[in-house]
Every structure is written in structure tokens, then in C-alpha cells.
Amino acid sequence: MRAINPATGEVIQEYPEHGPEDVARLIARAGKAFLAWRETPFSKRAILMKSAARVLRESRGAWSRLMTMEMGKTLASAEAEADKCAWVCEYYADNAERLLAAEKTATDGSESFVRFDPLGTVLAVMPWNFPFWQVFRFAAPNLMAGNVGLLKHASNVPGCALAIEKIFMRAGFPEGVFTTLMIPGSAVEAVIRHDEVKAVTLTGSEPAGKSVAAIAGSALKKTVLELGGSDPFIVLHDADIEEAAAQAAVARCINAGQSCIAAKRFIVEEKVAERFEKAFVAAMGRLKVGDPMDRKSDLGPLARKDLLMELEGQVKRSVAAGARLALGGKRLGDKGCYYSPTVLCDVVPGNPAFEEEIFGPVGAVVRAKDASHAIELANRSRFGLGASIWTGNAEMGKVLAGRIESGAVFVNGIVKSDPRLPFGGVKASGYGRELGLYGIREFVNIKSVWVK
């Protein structure tokens, strides 16, 4: 496996892959570790998980630089990612025992209750865009639930994959409780089908999700899928337009726009659309694209050259289909994978910018006749991950939130993941949940116990 710096195009380091015999040995080691780990008290698991949080914070600079070098996120955003990973570790260390406490219920028995027991070895197939956070939001709840984890990380962040395993080892977790498998995508099916692996979680693309779900389904193994998104950012006429436009630029360009829950379709009521477009273009135009190690840079490069080429093609096809290019629309520099902050206006259903997930700093502005039409446009998508509504009437925002087909709706705020709230989508954005109460209960045996 090869790590390439997307800011320069230079090879950082090459890493050896695990062969079939190595993989078999590591899976067997994980299975053996589970037998002891499931009997480990919550209090001991919590001590180790809080130790992982300390390791994340103590070496925050090293982890952040590694993320920036391998996938191009700005150093400041990488530091924030490391901090968030520490937070999720602490949250589940403090709350897992409560969230998984047995629930008593009245029946014809003298005592009846529901237990939440760990399943065993869980495989996580993770993406490159948040190379630490995506893994820790899987690992923290599942390890605290008594499961053990196998990680198959994206091939362009191999250093991050090994670093995460190192963090758990430095924190004192028993060998085999968390294991990184250095394998290509072609080797994933055999891991899923291995008898020791009991479930699979994937964060990634729609095609990858379909493939993993089909394999796991044929082996009768549970899956959780967090896939793509084309999140609507709805601006009603009574919103603070300048503030909404400023937040729209932030929401679109987090992680250089490479986020499933980044706002992508900016659906604005007609009567304020011109004002919003002008303010949005100005806000996007103020963003500085540059070296992600430079703290003055707001955006770094895209993570890979193929992603840059795909984004460039989507913008060209959108303009050819009738979208108006109001800002940007071009590569930047003669090396690295930089793309300018871009705004497309006059976007309508059927246009690539409306229908496809655009993974980069490109915002598509769509005009709506009124609030009801805005909700209709928001739902006219095969995706359903997140959404936001910007309005001066929060009560109306809550009512409209109930009509949106997505896993999360934020009223007057940017969509974000939070350890305290369930995270996931509907439709082509996947199924199942991570984080919160529902996330920690995804990969447990919900067991009824009846006593007389």
C-alpha cells in the first residue's frame, strides 16, 4: 500500500500488505481476545478507553500531521478530528454501562428482562475522508459493548490505519481487541465470510455498500451502512440571509467539501434567492485554498487525483446541462489536487449537480417557490443522510423537519455528528445507526430472559 501526499503528489511511504496466512492468524487472534474481553467489566473497559483518549490528546500533533499528509485536510481540521475522537472515547467510557443496562419488563414470569450481549468480532470497512474519526466512532461504542474490532481502512491512508491500532495498544488494550488488516478491497469478501466475523459496518460509497451488504447478507451477517449524501440546505425567506450564506460556505467546504454530511444542494426560496446567491458567492470567494499545513489555509487539496478529475467532470457536465457558473470551476496550481471553491446557480432537478453526490468544494443553488416546494425539492433525491433548515421561525423549522426524508435535520445549524446523537441515513444513504444509544446497540444480541 502506498501513501501519497495530495498536496504535492509525492509518495510518503509504502507499506506491506497482510497475506492470507497473516489475515487468518489475526482473525483467530481477535476471536480468542473476544472470549476474555466480553467478560471484562465495564469499569475496566472504561479505564482503557479513557486511556485511549489520553493517548489521542498527548500525541495530537503527530496524529494531526499524519492525517494532513495522507489525505490533505487542513492541520486545524485534523487537530479538531483528533479531539473529537478523544471525546467519543470518553463519552462511551462514561455511558456504555448505562446504555447497555438490562431492561426489566413485566410478564407472566416472576422476573423478565432484556440483556444486551456482545456479538463477537466486527469488521469495519472505513473511508479516507475522516481517517481517524470514522474509525473511532465505530470502535469506541463497539469495544465498550464487549465486541472486538477488525479494521480494513482505505488504501490511501495506511499510516492512519496503523496509527489507530497503535493508539489502542499504547492505551493498554489486550492484544487482538482492535486489529488493523492491511488488505486490498479484493480481500474483504473472504474476511466477511470468515466464521469468526459476526457483523460488518461500512462507511463509504453506494457501490461499496451494495457489495458488502450482498456478501454479508448471503452469509446471514448483520450490516450497518453509512453511504453517500446530497444534503439539502434549505433557506426560507424569513432567515438571516447573510448569516445563512456565511454558514453555507462553511457547511459546503468542511474537509474541502469531502464529507457525506456536507451541505450540497442549497435550496432557497425565490424571494430571497438573489440576495443569498450574492452573499454565498462572496463567502465562498473569501476562502483561501493552499498548503494544508499552513494555518492560513481554509481548504487543502482533494485527497486523490482521480477524485479531482471526477469533480472536474461533474462541474463541466452540470454547466453543459444548464447550470450557471457563478464562481470558480477550475483546478488550482500545477501540482497537487487543488480545486477552487465553486458555486453553480440555476440548478434544477435532472442536473448532475442536483442528482449526484459532489465530493468537493462545489455548491449548487436551487430556487424554490415556497417552503413546501423547498421540502419537495429536498426529498427529490435518492439520498437521505442529513439536512438543515434556516428560518427565523424555529417552531416552523421543527414542523418542516418532520417532512424531510433524512437521518438528521438541523434547524439553524450545520449538520454534524455528535456522540450523544444517533447518526445514519435512509434511502441510498444506507441503514442502521452509529453513535448515541442506538449506535451502541447495533451489534449486540438483544436477549430476552424469562425467570420463574
pLDDT tens digits for range 209-249: 999 999 999 999 999 999 999 999 999 999 999 999 999 99
As a dihedral over the C-alpha atoms of residue 234, residue 238, residue 240, residue 242, rounded to 10 degrees, the angle is 70
Q: Which of 85, 260, 337, 345 is catalytic?
A: 260
For residue 285, name the pLDDT band (cuts at 50, 70, 90): very high
Helix axes 42-58, 158-170, angle to 10 degrees: 130
The pLDDT value given to residue 48: 98
Least Cα distance to 231 among 419, 428, 395 occurs for 428
Three-class SS of 293-345: CCCCCCECCCCCHHHHHHHHHHHHHHHHCCCEEEECCCEECCCCCEECCEEEE
Half-sphere exposure at residue 45, Cβ-oriented, CA atoms within 13 angstroms: 28
Per-residue pLDDT reduced to its tens digit, 342-380:
999 999 999 999 999 999 999 999 999 999 999 999 999
CATH homologous superfamily of domain 2-227+427-451?
Aldehyde Dehydrogenase; Chain A, domain 1 (3.40.605.10)
Alpha carbon of residue 54 to chain centroid = 23
Q: Which of 226, 269, 277, 434 is catalytic?
A: 226
The pLDDT value given to residue 416: 97
Task: Dump the DSSP string for 34-78.
Answer: HHHHTTS-HHHHHHHHHHHHHHHHHTHHHHHHHHHHHH---HHHH
The pLDDT value given to residue 55: 98
What average pLDDT does the segment 188-203 reach? 98
The pLDDT value given to residue 379: 98
Least Cα distance to 232 among 404, 116, 393 occurs for 404
* Mean per-residue pLDDT over the chain, rounded: 98
Residues in contact with 69: Cβ distance below 8 Å, sequence separation at least 6, in sequence order: 3, 5, 12, 159
- For cell 448532475, what's the residue? 352
The pLDDT value given to residue 171: 98
Residue ranges of the domains in the chain? 2-227+427-451, 231-411
Per-residue pLDDT reduced to its tens digit, 73-93:
999 999 999 999 999 999 999
Among the CATH numbers 3.30.70.260, 3.40.309.10, 3.40.190.10, 3.40.50.720, which is that of 231-411?
3.40.309.10
* Angstrom distance (rounded) from CA 297 to CA 299: 6
Alpha carbon of residue 88 to chain centroid = 14
207: which 3 cell numbers?
457501490
Which ranges of 145-269 would DSSP assign to H, the alpha helix? 158-170, 188-193, 206-218, 241-253
What average pLDDT does the segment 148-152 reach? 98
148: which 3 cell numbers?
472486538
* Angstrom distance (rounded) from CA 184 to CA 233: 36
For residue 119, name the pLDDT band (cuts at 50, 70, 90): very high
The pLDDT value given to residue 177: 98
Q: Would residue 226 show up in a list of annotated catalytic residues for this protein?
A: yes
Q: Would residue 253 show up in a list of annotated catalytic residues for this protein?
A: no
3-state secondary structure of 128: coil
> Taking the CB of residue 68, how many other CB atoms lie within 10 A of it?
24
